[in-house]
Chains A and B, each alone.
Chain A
Amino acid sequence: MKKIFHLQCLLLMTLLFACKPERLAVPSEPIKDIKGSWQVIKATRNGTDLTARFDFSKFRIHFSDSTYTIDSLLPFIVSKNGKWAFDDPQYPFYLSFTIPDSTAHSPLLYPVTGGRRNIIITFSPGCTANSYQYTLQKVN
Chain B
Amino acid sequence: MKKIKKYFKRHPSYWWKIPGIILLLVIAGCSITIDSIDQPASVNGGDILPVTLHVTINTNDVRTAKFMVAVLVPKVWKVAQNGVITFTSDLTSGDQPMTVIPAGTSAPNGNGLDWPTYLTQKIGNGGNLLNEYEWVAFYSNSAYSVVGNKTYTVTVSIRMKTSVDNLQFKLGYCVANSSDGLSDPQYYSSFFPGCFRVNGEGDLIDFCNPQLAVVDPRTSLDNDIVTVSFDGGVAPTALDNASEVYLCVKGYLTSGDSLTVCSQTADTKMEPLGLNRWRKDIWPRGLFHLNEEQHLVRLAYYFTDATGTIKVGYGGGADPFPYTFKCQ
Q: How far is the CA of A99 from the CA of B327 in the complex (A)?
A: 24
Rounded to whole Å, the gap between the CB of A121 and the closest CB of chain B is: 15
Query: Which of A26-34, A84-92, A126-134 lies at the interface with chain B?
Result: A126-134
Indicate the member of B75, B224, B283, B327 with the most A CB atoms within 10 Å: B224
- Nearest CB of chain B from residue A134's CB, rounded to whole Å: 11
Question: Is A45 in the interface zone, CB < 8 Å from B?
Answer: yes
Q: Which residues from B are CB-within-8-Å of A132?
A: 225
Interface stretch among A2-10, A16-24, A46-54, A102-110?
A46-54
Asked whether, in the complex, the Cβ of B286 is within 8 Å of the Cβ of A46, the reply is no
Q: CA of A75 to CA of B284 in the docked complex: distance in angstroms?
A: 10
Size range of the chain B interface in the assembly: 10 to 19
> In the complex, are the beta carbons of B225 and A75 less than 8 A apart?
yes
Q: How large is the interface on A (under 10, 10 to 19, 20 to 34, 35 or more residues)?
A: 10 to 19
Evaluate whether A127 and B283 lie within 8 angstroms (CB atoms) in the complex, with A45-B225, A75-B225 already known.
Answer: no
Interface readout for A100-128 with B: 1 if CB under 8 Å, 0 if not?
00000000000000000000000001111
Bound-state Cα–Cα, A53 to B285, Å: 17
Give the dominant DSSP class at A's interface. Answer: loop
Q: How far is the CA of A139 from the CA of B110 in the complex (A)?
A: 40
- Is B281 at the interface (CB under 8 A from chain A)? yes
Closest B residue to A74 using CB positions: B283
Q: Which residue of B lies closest to A45 (CB)?
A: B225
- Of B220, B271, B279, which one neighbours A130 at CB under 8 angstroms? B220
Q: Closest B-chain residue to A128, C-beta based?
A: B327
Q: Could you tell me if A129 and B328 are in contact, using CB atoms closer than 8 angstroms?
A: yes
Cβ of A79 within 8 Å of any chain B Cβ, yes or no, is yes
Interface residues of B in 298-324 (CB under 8 A from A): none
Q: How far is the CB of A37 from chain B (nearest CB, A)?
A: 21
Report chain B residues within 8 Å CB of A53.
227, 271, 279, 281
CB of B221 closer than 8 Å to a CB of A: yes
Within 8 A of A (CB), among B198-251: 217, 219-225, 227
Give A12 to B285 CA distance when docked, in angstroms.
Answer: 82
Set A54, A73, A127: member contacting B281, Cβ < 8 A: A54
* B327 close to A46 (CB less than 8 A): no
Docked Cα-Cα span, A45 to B225, in Å, equals 8
Beta-carbon nearest neighbor of A47 in chain B: B131
Do B217 and A130 touch (CB < 8 A)? Answer: yes
Chain A residue numbers with a CB within 8 Å of B217 are 45-46, 127, 129-130
User: In the complex, which of the residues B221, B279, B286 contacts A74, with contact meaning CB atoms closer than 8 Å?
Assistant: B286
A contacts, CB < 8 Å to B: 45-46, 50, 53-54, 73-75, 79, 125-130, 132
6 contacts between A and B (CB under 8 A): A75-B225, A126-B327, A127-B219, A127-B221, A127-B327, A129-B327
